[in-house]
Amino acid sequence: MYFVYLLECGDGSLYTGVTTNVVRRLAEHRAGTGARFTRAKGAVRMAYVEEHPDRSTAQKREAEVKKWPREKKLHLVSLMPSARYASCDA
């Protein structure tokens, strides 16, 4: 199982990525071993997560979301129940 996620950064920006383990990936971003973007801006929380059956579909979705304007990404974030990945934010 693969996950496409939007990560909220310390400056309010959103980072989009793909992982097989959401909790581990958030920890990597917070530890500074994630993407260069999140090392510079700081990782706050997982703002959105969606499941995909394989890497190919997850990467296609990631590419699609990365092209979206911020407003469309924020709408996507608003659709996710806040408690679904609450354990990721601890």
What CATH number is attached to the domain comprising 58?
A: 3.40.1440.10
Query: Is the distance from CB of 34 to CB of 28 less than 8 angstroms?
Result: yes
pLDDT band, residue 80 (cuts 50/70/90):
confident
pLDDT at 87: 47
Please write the tens of the pLDDT for every residue from 7-18. 999 999 999 999
Range of the domain at 59: 2-89
Using DSSP's 3-state secondary structure scheme, residue 46 falls into strand
Number of domains the chain contains: 1
Please write the tens of the pLDDT for every residue from 6-60. 999 999 999 999 999 999 999 999 999 988 899 999 999 999 999 999 999 999 9
